[in-house]
Structures are given as structure tokens and as C-alpha cells.
Structure 1
């Protein structure tokens, strides 16, 4: 037992009420501490969740940016490819124009597109005319003399305007130096003038029927003459 001064008195023991209040105060303090810890944990969780959301948004935005860039690049490349293909297809087209000679004995052929140059041609006639295909090189033309005998054969001399289907395969060079080849069907117009001592044949013009594959050209013009 500790020695005390005469004037010091030993404090009385706490009453049951005081003990209960002290326990309640300690319990309240513990509860407050737990609540503070829970709130702090909740705040941390909220910050973690917000950070995760921001990270996901950043990844999503980055992904959208990359996709948009890829999409624009792909679209641009597709447009360029389409434009190139269109230009290439256009350059492979050939439209012939025919100029009738003053004596009407021949037609001079040339591309409507002045950037194109004809290299050579093969002209096919119907089989019933018994005229072999004619090859020209550099001098694109059709001459009445190639089929005049066959055109005058069989009919008595008299004037008549006629036409015969022919096929022309043209090998040409484009303005960019690319080689092209195109086959097409045409109607060749001509006039037979009957004379006492024989008939004469004059050409009148050329009109396009449509395109054709070269290997089918002879068959197609033969079908048109039946």
C-alpha cells in the first residue's frame, strides 16, 4: 500500500453508474474509430473505382482514336484504289471514229481519245463473204476493195444501200504508255451502184454494235448475217 500524505485521501471507487458510463464511452470511441476506418476505406474504394473507370475510358478513347484513324486511312486507300481502278478502266476503253475518204473508197480509223494511238488492227468479215481477216499495222483503215467483189456477187446491177457486220480487234497504246486491246462489233455501211458494165462499191460509214471477245468475234458476226 502506497504511503499517502495525511491530507491525501484515497479516491472512492467508481460507482456502478460511472462504470457503465465509462464502458459506454469506450464503446462509443471504438465505434467512432471503426466508423472512421470504414469511411476511409469507402473513400479509398471510391477513388480506386474512379481510377479504374478513368483508365477504362482512356483505353476506350485510345481504341476509338486508333480505329477512327485506321478507318479513315482504309477509306482513303479504298477511294484511291477505286479512283485508280476507274482511271485504269477508262484508259482501257477505246472509241473509234471513222473518216470517209473523198472518193468513198476507204474509211480512216482513229481513237476518239487523242492520247491513244492505234498500233495494229484485225478486221473480221462474215464467213459467207469468203474474205479473210485483214491485218493493218500503223495505218488503221477499212477499204471497200477488201470485200467489193463479194458485195457485188449474186445480184443484178442496181443501186442499193447496204450494211454488213464486221468485228475489229484494236491493239493500242494509252497516253501513259500502257498497252491495251479491245474487240468490238460494227456495222459497216456501203453502197453498191449498178452500172451497165458492172457495179461499184462505195463506203458510207461505220456504227458500233457492241463489244465482243476476240475469240467469239467470227461467230458473232456470222450469227448477225443469217
Structure 2
């Protein structure tokens, strides 16, 4: 059956509508695909950032040194070691408050603190500060530890002030002896730390006096 001119025009309009609808659907499909790709990309970026942050935090944690100390049976030596087994101490420098009049002590490999390095000077400094010769509980001697250690295969240097826990005993013939208890972190320092070290000792001595 032959279409009239009016019917032909209507058919053409219908075909154009279908073409337009098809174009809209095609554009929508492209847009949806683009959004999916963008979401996937941003998710991967977020994942990478999160993993990078976790790795950075892990690296910082692995390179942060915390020392533990174990006293020997004689209580005259503290053996020092990192809390993290993957860290390895290479050398240390131990500095004492200026009031003790001692030179720094250097150790290599065998990280330790021995009472023989400072006990006589400590007893004299305590006496000069008016401290009692005998202690009931644990006293604290601030020291500045400069520790060079390996972490993740990298040589790192840590500067920190620690308190050496100690006790004193007195005897008529042998005088005052110092027994070592342990070690506790006071603060990490950015400069050489000696002023703060001396200030800490002065605070303890002044309080006791």
C-alpha cells in the first residue's frame, strides 16, 4: 500500500526520534563507562596512597629506637638492646651530667652501662647536693645516649635522654655502693642535649637538697 505524503513525513519523524534516542543512549553508555573507569582509577589511587602511608608509618616505626635494659646478677651492669629484634646497635656514646665531672663513655657492639663508670662520681655528687647516702626506693640518674644502629639496612643515629634507675647501700667499711635497676626513656633531643641533661640533674639534686 502506497504511503501518502503525510504518512511518509510521519515515518521520517519517527525514524529521526529513534536515531536521536539511540544517540542519547550511546552518549549515556559512554558516560557510564567513563565514570566506571574514573571510579576504578580513584579507587586504585586511594589504595596506593593508603599502602604508601602504611609503608611510611611502618618505616618510621621500624627506625624508631626504644631500648630495653637487663641488669646482671651483680646489679653492676645493664645490658642494652633494642625492643625491635630487627634493629642492631653498632655503637653508643653515654654522657653524664656535668656535676659528675665525667668524660663520655663509648661502646662498640656490646651495648651496656656499667656502674663502675660513674658510681664514685655519683656518690660524691649526691653528697654535694645534700642527698641522703642510702635510698629506700629507686633513684634516677639522667644520661644522654647517642646510639648508632641499623634499621632496615640503614644506619640511623638516635639522641635521647634516659634515666638510669639505681639504688644505694651503705656499709661501715665499704662505704656507699650503687646497684643498677633499669633504664627508662625521658625524651628524645634534637640538639646535643647536654643543657637539658644538666637541668634534669639539677632538678633532682635541688629537690633532694
TM-score using structure 2 length:
0.81
For residue 168 of structure 1, what is the aligned residue in structure 2?
145
For residue 49 of structure 2, what is the aligned residue in structure 1?
78
**8 Å contact 2:62–2:84 — kept in the other structure?**
no
In the alignment, is residue 158 of structure 1 matched against residue 133 of structure 2?
yes
For residue 127 of structure 1, what is the aligned residue in structure 2?
98
1:136-177 CA distances to partner (integer Å, 9 max, x unpaired)?
110101111222232121529832253111122222123x42
Q: What number of residue pairs does the alignment pair up?
A: 192
In 1, Cα distance between the equivalents of 2:199 and 2:26? 74
Structure 1 or 2, whichever has the larger Rg, is 1
For residue 29 of structure 1, what is the aligned residue in structure 2?
none
Q: Which runs of 5+ in 2 are unaligned?
A: 203-209
In 2, Cα distance between the equivalents of 1:190 and 1:97? 15
Q: Residue 42 of structure 2 aligns to a residue in which SS?
A: helix
1:98 CA drift (Å): 0.7
1:219 CA drift (Å): 2.3
For residue 89 of structure 2, what is the aligned residue in structure 1?
118
1:175-194 CA distances to partner (integer Å, 9 max, x unpaired)?
x4233332322211222333
In the alignment, is residue 185 of structure 1 matched against residue 166 of structure 2?
no
In 2, Cα distance between the equivalents of 1:39 and 1:85? 68
In 1, Cα distance between the equivalents of 2:79 and 2:70? 5
In 2, Cα distance between the equivalents of 1:82 and 1:54? 41
In 1, Cα distance between the equivalents of 2:81 and 2:114? 15
Q: Could you say which structure has the higher strand fraction?
A: 2
* Counterparts of residues 1-226 of structure 1 (less than 5 Å): 32-33=4-5, 35-153=6-124, 155=127, 158-160=133-135, 162-174=139-151, 176-197=152-173, 198-213=175-190, 215-226=191-202
Higher relative contact order (CA 8 A, sep 6+): 2
In 2, Cα distance between the equivalents of 1:93 and 1:112? 10
TM-score using structure 1 length:
0.75
Q: Residue 47 of structure 1 aligns to a residue in which SS?
A: helix
Residue range with higher mean Cα deviation, 197-206 or 44-53 = 197-206
Q: Residue 113 of structure 1 aligns to a residue in which SS?
A: coil
In 2, Cα distance between the equivalents of 1:122 and 1:129? 16
For residue 205 of structure 2, what is the aligned residue in structure 1?
none
1:42-96 CA distances to partner (integer Å, 9 max, x unpaired)?
2132023112202211220221121022112112211221221122122112221
